[in-house]
Amino acid sequence: MRTYFHVDMDAFFVSVEELFDPSLKGKPVVVGGKSNERGVVSAASYAARKFGIHSAMPLRTAYKLCPHAIFVEGHRQRYIEYSGKVFEVLQKFSPAVEMASIDEAYLDLTGTERLHGPPLAAAHRLHSMVKESTDLNCSIGAASSRLVAKIASDQAKPNGVLWIVPGSEAGFLAPLEVRKIPGVGKVTEKNLHACGIRLVGDLAELDADFLEERFGKWGLALAGKARGEDAGGWFDGEVGEGGDPKSVSHEHTFMEDTADASTLDSILVRLSEMVARRLRDHRLYARTVQIKLRYSDFSTFTRSRTLDRATQIDTEIAETARGLFHKAWTRKAIRLVGVYAQSLESGEGQTSLLEEEKTERWRKTLRAVDLMRDKYGDSTVSLASGLKAAFRARVHENPENLPGKDPRKKES
């Protein structure tokens, strides 16, 4: 029988902010930006959630729901630091740790009962150690599958521990709404409701063949999930095994629509740097670069180019992105711009003798740059053409060097 934990930090960004400013405790706090900005809520305190505020909600909507809330832009580097502290605690319990995001992780504790005790006792011990080491609260779900452990941690919030005894998974899941199943979004929920499926128990009673006919392979995964099984998506690999992304991207929404060419160029360079850094962290190379443009009227266009060889070098991705942009741009004001790396490969392919010397210089330079960014922050070093951008990565985005997800750290 397997034993998995899902550890989810409670209102993580807000809780870290409260460590540095205790006056925020107990108040409606929104992390993500100013109330009049175009951005979205990265996190909300439990006091703010009572007004209907939730993550991914537009900041302006959050302000309408709770005008007296305290809006803070957030400190991304602090969150990365505390995520690292949490990761250090988790590693003391199991070598098999997978950081699913900056504030949640899966642990495989199978076979560790002689060391940590039974699952419930181990979960309570881990819960206490996280609090002692970081002064932050977390919720922990323990179960025989990662899917049930994740749902259990959500049910345990805030600051709780919930162990689903093996054999009771179906009974635990049955009364829950189908949207509690990881991967079931608004569209899938609507489609399930159209079939009369509102609770996980309703889903579990359906024949797998019917679900496959109606929803394809995702239907088969849903049938497994309704029984409490790790089926599809994130749960395909083992804990700690990771898994390479299919694409890497970063976007930026402007506070005010802009048609200033130099500003747009600079933003594209900065986004390209962020994408290239993520590629290097995963030891991947992009064969295709794509950009996304959204104009003031919300019309959205994408353009892409396949390179002669794959790359993970900032300047090469930036040059391609800027070339695509200036071919596609109609000179109208831009609301959002994005850079995507696609067709990812494990190697860059053959370079010419003339290119190889230049490429090797960039490799050495970027290795040093990445180390500086790890130590002093992502915005410490930038290409000169990207300096004008001067924007912070959104605090809710996973950092490029997420603890436990960096292949370079695994090799050291």
What does the pLDDT look like over 335-365, one tens digit per residue? 999 999 999 988 876 665 566 667 777 777 7
Chain centre distance of CA 16: 18
Tokens matching residue 230:
């790790």
| Active-site choice (17, 18, 98, 104) | 104
Phi and psi (nearest 5°) for 25? -60, 135
Least confident piece of the model among 94-98, 141-145, 387-391? 387-391
Find residue 364's DSSP bridge partners.
Answer: none
In whole angstroms, give the CA distance from residue 143 to residue 296: 48
pLDDT at 400 over 80: no
What is the model's pLDDT at position 57? 92
Strand order in the sheet with 285-295: 248-258, 334-345, 285-295, 300-311
What does the pLDDT look like over 286-305, one tens digit per residue? 999 999 999 998 899 999 99
What is the model's pLDDT at position 407? 42
3-state helix, strand, coil in the chain (%, to 5): 45, 20, 35
* pTM summary value: 0.74
pLDDT at 165 over 50: yes
What is the model's pLDDT at position 208? 79
104 is catalytic: yes
What does the pLDDT look like over 371-392, one tens digit per residue? 766 666 666 566 655 555 555 5
Max CA separation in the chain (angstroms): 67
What does the pLDDT look like over 98-124, one tens digit per residue? 888 899 999 999 988 889 999 999 999
In whole angstroms, give the CA distance from residue 67 to residue 35: 9
pLDDT at 325 over 90: yes
Place of tokens 């629509």: 257
**∠ Cα 33 35 40 (to 5°):** 55
Least confident piece of the model among 20-24, 41-45, 205-209, 260-264? 205-209
| Count helices and strands in the chain by DSSP H and E runs | 16, 12
pLDDT at 241 over 80: no
